[in-house]
Amino acid sequence: MMGAGSEKGPIDVLNVSETWKKRFRIIEKAGNIGAFGYRNGSQLDLSERFSVGFSVLAFFFGPFYYFFKGMHQKGFVLLGSGFLFSFVFALVEILINKTLPPFLYYIPTAALCASLASYDYYMFKVKLVTMWEPFRPFRQVWVAATFALACLVLPIATLTLGEKALSNFQMGSISFDGILPGGDLQAEFSGVWRDDEGTIVEISLDNEVKQITIAQQTVQVQIRKVEKADRTILMKPDTANQVWTLRQLGDGERSSLNLSINDRFEGYLTFVRPL
């Protein structure tokens, strides 16, 4: 008959290494983990605190460490959280127009995994708990995996659509021909013109493809704004981040044009003939 002193506890019969058994006993000594660490963490010495409070392997491998240890549900939730952290940092980069150091994308998830891994493995092996209490709906693997996938796909879709929307609102990225008046002004400005040095300028704004040819160099442009009252057309060339302005001078039809780039005067154009 086995004596009372030789009875084995639940930790002793676990199929884990002696190192993990030692950690599990330290965790039981420290009590439940809370928002500010272990309940009885003050009773642990420095080596014990580090042993159960920070996992180097979990820091470097993150959620994949959880997968390796069989904690798939928590692994997927942490993986999804990592995607969300990356999404937030990507938004910050867009807002401040600066590139953050790449390691910042990894640090939050890595630190979270490192601080929770030992206690989570204890709960998984000793208490047979597969998910944190606030995340009980994720106890099923397929739910946790779906969460991780959604956290990957939705931010990518949001960033992609956001970039497209932003580019559409940038100067000259949308042609306003269909919603702004001024098609007749574009027709009036179209033709062959000559500047005061004799350079030939061909302007074609009344076709689907709008372009300006200066000294046999053709540049396609997008109409940004048509101001009929001021007899002005603002354009953006496809090859440069500039504002080209054509402004009619005088009251008569086919009178001279003033061409400016980024509000800097370039010259006067005199009408020669229609295209």
Q: Tens digit of pLDDT for each residue in 30-59?
A: 877 765 567 666 778 888 888 888 999 999
Same domain, 219 and 151: no
In a domain, 149, yes or no: yes
- Give the rounded percent of residues in the chain with a pLDDT score beyond 70: 82
**H helix intervals, 46-140:** 46-53, 56-61, 63-68, 72-96, 103-125
Same domain, 158 and 187: no
Q: What is the mean pLDDT of residues 257-269?
A: 75
pLDDT at 47: 86
pLDDT at 1: 40
Which residue reads 């302007």 in tokens?
Answer: 203
CA distance 173 to 202: 23
Residue pLDDT, tens place only, 95-134: 887 888 888 899 999 999 999 999 999 999 999 999 999 9
Q: In total, how many domains does the chain have?
A: 2
**Cβ-based burial of 143 (10 A; exposed 0-12, middle 13-18, buried ≥19):** middle
User: 256: closest CA among 187, 188, 204?
Assistant: 188
**Domain extent at residue 187:** 183-273
Residue pLDDT, tens place only, 127-160: 999 999 999 999 999 999 999 999 999 888 877 7
In a domain, 3, yes or no: no
Same domain, 242 and 153: no
Say whether pTM exceeds 0.75: no
Same domain, 165 and 187: no
Q: What are phi and psi of 272, to 5 degrees?
A: -110, -55
More confident residue, 85 or 247: 85
More confident residue, 185 or 20: 20
pLDDT at 171 over 50: no
pLDDT at 195 over 90: no
Same domain, 156 and 196: no
pLDDT at 4 over 60: no
pLDDT at 176: 40
Cα distances (Å, whole numbers) of residue 162 to 40, 80, 169, 233: 48, 21, 11, 29
Same domain, 164 and 223: no
In a domain, 99, yes or no: yes
Q: What is the CATH number of the domain that holds 240?
A: 2.40.310
Same domain, 214 and 149: no
In a domain, 165, yes or no: yes
In a domain, 25, yes or no: no
pLDDT at 119: 93
Same domain, 154 and 201: no
Residue where a domain stops, chosen among 169, 191, 218: 169
CA distance 215 to 207: 20
In a domain, 102, yes or no: yes
Confidence of residue 163 (pLDDT cuts 50, 70, 90): low
In a domain, 215, yes or no: yes
Same domain, 156 and 58: yes
